Structure 1
Amino acid sequence: MRKILSTSLSTLVLLCASLAVTAPQAQAQTTTKKTTKKAAKKPAAKAAPAEVDDGEDEGTPDVKASVTVDYKCELGNSLTLFTNAEDDKHIALRWGKTLRRLTRVPTTTGANRFENRKYGLLWIGIPAKGILLDSKTGHQLANECKSAAQEEMPAPAPVDPAHSL
């Protein structure tokens, strides 16, 4: 019986040893680099058509019958807005020596937003101030722009957090 047990034990050890040797080889074979077919190149997607330029952003706006509002901004910048009561869809903006026509862009926030896409000008006006942005480069051109009426507005009272509840 001892001989059978010894033979069985030897066989078991030999079997385990052979599994230990062959298992890494089998695993290595399954982890070899798989060759994959490259997908056929898709034709390049057609570029989205550029927005139709209706000429609305071009030309010099007529500001003779317009109401003029001068704004003083940070860093000594200044600009002038020209509005016309008969046309609330457009304003004219003098920035530096150029006069550009901007078209109203609808918003859900209540801010007045006007843009000239050709030149990349974007004016955002809220009751406390205005800001002029370059929408092509993403930079501020003029910030903290205030008209004389906005400068006269009283500053909001500071809120005491202890008494705000």
Structure 2
Amino acid sequence: MSDDTMTNTDAVNTDATTNTDATTNTDATTNTDATGVGLVRSEERLAVTTRRVPIGRAVLRKRIVVERRTITVDVAHEEVVLDHEPFDGDETDAAHGMHLALPEVVLHEEQIVVTKRIVPVERVRVRVDSVQEERQVTAELRREQVDVVHDSEPARTDGTIRG
């Protein structure tokens, strides 16, 4: 509220029927009793509340990160080994073996086969936690101050009149 805005407690009664004489003032803030004339002094009080307002959005997003992995794998293969042994049979067996088909051996090796599969590893959820913190609020508050104004002397703020 700016200083030039008047509130109900700041408003001055400008009704044409109001007498400006302090002894007969009918303003609602004026109080007259057997001890004299008085009025109600008002002041602003600070009332602070909070309200929830959206400040942004958080969205789960997935992105692919490539990571190089090196794994050592044991592989095996077969090799041909010739074993020489002395022959203990007779010569007829040896002559007969020259015309036979030559034996054949199939060699094998293990080859590395790389496959990739997608497996679930964890569930990720978004959760909102409320975090309390303290913040200071500073405001200028206005208050009414009552002064006594005497026709023959300037106004004094201590409420006394010399005379």
Q: TM-score range by the shorter chain?
A: under 0.3
Indicate the structure with greater helix content: 1
Q: Which has the higher contact order (CA 8 A, sep 6+)?
A: 2
Structure whose CA Rg is larger:
2
